[in-house]
Structure 1
Amino acid sequence: MPQADFSYDAPGDAAGLPVSVSVFADRPYLRDQVCDDLRSAGFRIGRNGSIAALLKGDPVALGDAVLLDCPDIDAEGMAALSRLDMRVAQAGSQLIVSTSLVALDDVFACLDQSRAQILVDASRAERIVAVGRILGAVGGHRLREMSKEDRVALLHLSQQVDAIARQLDNLSDGGPAFALSDNDSEYRGPEHHRQGAGRPPLPDPSLVRQMIRQRQTRAQYFDAELFADPAWDMLLDLTAAHGEHKRVSVSSLCIAAGVPPTTALRWIRQMVETGLFDRVEDARDRRRAYISLSERAVDAMARYFAVIAGPVAVAA
């Protein structure tokens, strides 16, 4: 089977120079594959090597973007990754981190400055989508010669990402289920959630869990993709956890979303940016971070459930 050729006109900076990307991975075959794809896309490979060469070695020029394959990480690596996250943010670069579901919570906790793209157990196609996001940020480029099959595959992937963005844009515009007001009080962590003036109480968490089970039951009889709605599934999961006074890790929330983890992470990031979710640092362990409903989302969910109070036990 011939190797896919993902070719682009070379993206450049304001001076017309090729965009520089550094690639760091401990798996040589993966590092070579990513470098080949980036070169085909017209990027210039700035540096490439092992994770240790980046995280533990002497400071190196990062270039315009950094791709990091980090399937597992220890405490020392987390500290180094946090420094890299801050450095990338300060430099105005872009960061893509490929990791595993096992290491996701630790990696997520380290990345709160650079708006990094996080890929979980990524396929080559998912890496191409991530590269496409860099291309989109660079601008001034266009696809050139690709096979019909490759073009269709990339188009489908791009459409999926665009569909997520459009749906999230609708949420941020203040749809009927989430009438979010900018006047709501600032979120200060789950322990500070309070019932706003006139806000009805949230339903019993057991009823919300029942709704979640009912939604999951559909997958036994129908194609799960027919009902994929990660935003709502995550909102329900966080609503139940809020009533149970439980913290929700990012990996747990990805599972609740019912979509691939990389897709769920895109939703989570957008939901944080639109003010529905909050990233909550663990006060006792700064290496941990959780996701919770924002104060505004708690208010919206409470009012939503008040409207449907009668049929709560019916499938959502």
Structure 2
Amino acid sequence: MILASSREARDRPRDRERLARIMLRSRERRKHSFPSVIFGEPGWDMILQLYVACCAGEVIDVSGLCGCAGVSKTTALRHLDRLVAQQLVERRGDSADGRRIFVQPSKALLEQTEQWLDGAILSLDIGSS
């Protein structure tokens, strides 16, 4: 019961965003610490980046999203195409610049990501008690 009451007192959306940001920074530091190792989870990197951008009220374009994936643009685009095919992300054109395409997470992706982050936060809470 103590765990439940402490969880309810927290700002759950803020905790989720904070954990997602920590994970992105940690993954970036890992890449720099082990430059010769290919870790290879571009789809997950994209999902985290889209989640953080959405929480911050920001939009991200295809080039920016591909850049955060840590793989070649061709590989990143292949992963993005899979996310689009699964209806987890949506592409939409920029009305101000016809050459640019924005990417936004679907409601389903946001919900799935929040559930995953909630589980991770709960695991961290249990591990710290």
Deviation at 1:286, TM superposition (A): 6.1
Match of 2:96, as an amino acid? D
Structure with more relative contact order (C-alpha pairs < 8 Å, separation 6 or more): 2
TM-score (norm 1): 0.33
Aligned partners of 2:121, 2:18: CA distance in 1, in Å? 14
5+ residue gaps, structure 2, are 1-11
Considering only aligned residues, what root-mean-square deviation do their CA atoms show, in Å? 2.1
Aligned partners of 1:286, 1:202: CA distance in 2, in Å? 33
Residues 1:215 and 1:269: Cα distance change in structure 2 (over 3 Å): same
TM-score (norm 2): 0.76
**Where does residue 84 of structure 2 map in the other structure?**
272
Residues 1:224 and 1:216: Cα distance change in structure 2 (over 3 Å): farther
Aligned partners of 1:289, 1:255: CA distance in 2, in Å? 14
Match of 2:65, as an amino acid? L
Instruction: Please say if residues 257 and 264 of structure 1, whose CA atoms lie closer than 8 Å, have aligned partners that are also in contact.
Output: yes
Aligned partners of 2:15, 2:87: CA distance in 1, in Å? 22
* Structure number with larger C-alpha Rg: 1
- Give the % identical residues: 31
Instruction: Please say if residues 234 and 253 of structure 1, whose CA atoms lie closer than 8 Å, have aligned partners that are also in contact.
Output: yes
Question: Which runs of structure 1 show a deviation greater than 4 angstroms over 4 or more consecutive aligned residues?
Answer: none
1:285 aligned to 2:63?
Answer: no
State how 1:209-288 maps to structure 2 within 5 Å: 209-222=21-34, 223-225=36-38, 227-282=39-94, 284-285=95-96, 287=98, 288=100
Instruction: Please say if residues 50 and 105 of structure 2, whose CA atoms lie closer than 8 Å, have aligned partners that are also in contact.
Output: yes
Greater fraction helix: 2
**Where does residue 296 of structure 1 map in the other structure?**
108
The number of residue pairs the alignment matches comes to 111
Deviation at 1:270, TM superposition (A): 1.4
Match of 1:297, as an amino acid? L
